[in-house]
Chains A and B, each alone.
Chain A
Amino acid sequence: MKQEHTPGKKTYRYGMVIDLDKCTGCGACMVGCMAENNLPFRKDNSDRLRSNLWMRVYKISNGRPFPDADISYIPRPCQHCEGRDHHHATPCVSVCPATATDYSHETGIVSQIYTRCFGCRYCMAACPYHVRVFNWWDPMWPKGMKKYLNPDVSVRMRGVVEKCSFCYHRLQRARNKAYAEGRRELHEDEYQTACTQACPAGAIIFGDLNNPEHKVHELKKSLHAFRLLEKLGTNTKVYYVSTRGWVRKAGKIYTGKKGSVTHP
């Protein structure tokens, strides 16, 4: 677990701003993510507690009767927590006993080394967002579908933990291209995650949170922006925007009270 970035090297903080008022809950981001990242699925993939979803869309409602009833969808990729200090580093990174997950201070991306993970699942226990999933089965695809796997993303074996990587392979590809063209900086549209591109409503905006030229830089400053479980100090890099007050409350911690935000 590196605590500091290389001195003199420019740092980026890749992150997302998701407009919940635009999200229709179509699930295209989930499908795009699965296809891009070679996520295995089973014939009956309805068991959400054991399915491999790096991006999951939650449906929430305000629990009020007609005509005040309202719903919202919350797409939830890995939040790529930065942590707040040395003792509160990225929750999953600091606990991994085999250094199989790392926080890059250069990109702000939390990575996972599948070939080093031995499946203790301590990182899953540490993550309050349930973004980490375990491979309960050997990865299998229907006949002929292996030909459609993404060659840039390694397939994970059973018994290891995996999670959203902000399509890190796309960053590598974009950097290679820029290097070949003699550039050091990437344009905003050169590195975009699969879920961002799959979203038909344009609800997911991705970019460098540090870069004033990127859309996310301004969007995260919106009065309607919030992050999930902000009080815990995980310091996430996924921001959500909603003009609806009750939706913004969904970012708070579980209180056990029924009524404010409920599942339909």
Chain B
Amino acid sequence: MTESAPGAAASAHATGLDHDEISFWRTYVFSTDHKMIARQYLFLGLFMALVGGFLAYAMRWQLAYPDTAVPGFGFVGPETYNVLVTMHGTTMVFFVAMPILLGAFGNFLIPLMIGARDMAFPRLNMLSFWTLAVASLILLSSFLVPGGAASAGWTGYAPLSARSIYTGVTWGLNLWILAHAVEFASFLMGGVNFLTTAITMRATGMSFFRLPLVIWQQLTAAILFLLSVGPLIAAAVMLLMDRIAGTSFFVASGGGDPLLWQHLFWFFGHPEVYVVLLPAVGLAAEVLPVFSRKPLFGYRWIIYSTIVVGILSFIVWAHHMFLSGMDPRLAMPFSITTILISVPFAILVFAMIATLWGGSIRFSVPMLFALGFVAMFIVGGLTGIFNGSAPANIQVHATYFIVGHFHYTLLSGLFFGGFAGIYFWFPKMFGRMMNETLGQVHFWTTMICFNATFFPMHLVGLGGMMRRIANPLQYEFLQSLQPINVFITISAIGLALSQLVFLVNVGWSLVAGRTAEQNPWQATTLEWATPSPPPHGNFDALPVVYRGPYEYSCPEVSEDWLPQDRVLVARSG
């Protein structure tokens, strides 16, 4: 019974490719096709990026020209500034990075790359997206309620977040918690779907060690998310009880412990960094061999490193809390595990650089962004070592050094990894090539403005500027740093404007871009073995896989690439 029923469902799915006309609503809105859902995630993420980016702009303006009206926004006082900080972080991490890197790319790539017709649970997939859409609406609606949106920081530290009177925010913060809860539900459903699909739906011959790396990274991210988010859900329930039912889980005066929130938050928060980062690493790792025309260096080592990162990420969380008042004896073990995690990441970066060695590199736009990711990520990783060792961390804790470091790791993943992915798979997603010239302009302006924005943050941080002050001029020792703050703001506006080039490129390419052929980059993985964009059901006949994903410059064929599904008569495989 249990064996036959899912099998029957799957074969019905395989044969009933329902090519008959589907209504507009079922095609574009309530679609169960993983490719359409991926595009929905992508556009939702891009829309929320505009919101989060606008908040960042208002924040930066306030820091450069304190207490002047922000053009297009208005006057920002300290309370509003706290709202900007909180909502910028929340929006960008949970409603931009996760929808784009996991929602869009995970959904689009997993079935195509493993040679499946769709996800294991297509309707659950649709539900995941619409749950996320509801969560986004809840988050946006929190701007409109009396008392304003949440202002306790994106980490929502207790007791600030545990009692309304401390921030003056009542429903805004409750809705903030609710938006998180709904978002978590969405990505839990998504994660279950990713894992089940990859475990049960792989094409014949697609063993785990023939999976493209980005799939491994997506799956690791999904497992990390599934196993780390639980304690934060529990913490969110407790926080909501503190705010609504008057309990004292996180309030010391009532017998609770504010530090408890930090432990539960960072037990999730640190794996979450890798939930966002690993898929970005995977996107870059897919692009590099294609444009180097070389097999990826150290395929299995990258997989092992990814797994080690995943395991270690559960035992590093207290490095966010060296100055929180926790038992100082914990600082040493958490320093050690944190420094330890740089070993697998060093292997990842080394493998990506070694892939380039001796390759015939094509500097197409996806490749530029992938290279940009590697370069920027090294900066983020190196500053991470500063933060990981407790003595150095104490110096830079809660300064702009942290803000700079954080943006070099996560934003480099989203910007450079994510854009590499978008430029690379845009032909497959939409059937049209993106404009190369505009892409080059986008890359170089982004690269310059990104560094001009975030590198100086390390400097003001070392100068002592705290990460969450609304007006740096109120401290005498920070006044000499103000020119740097103005420079950062101008660069940040430049960074925002460079993204307009991208939006123009997307809009133009969707309408008038050159029609993409099936395999425009001459790549080997399965998604390139089907038309661009793939039809409903992805493949005419499901592919059979004969080899690993990175067979470039293989001497056995005349072309310099050997697709995973090509039969070679002379070779047994």
A, B: real partners: no
Interfacial residues, chain B to chain A (CB-CB below 8 A): none
Interfacial residues, chain A to chain B (CB-CB below 8 A): none
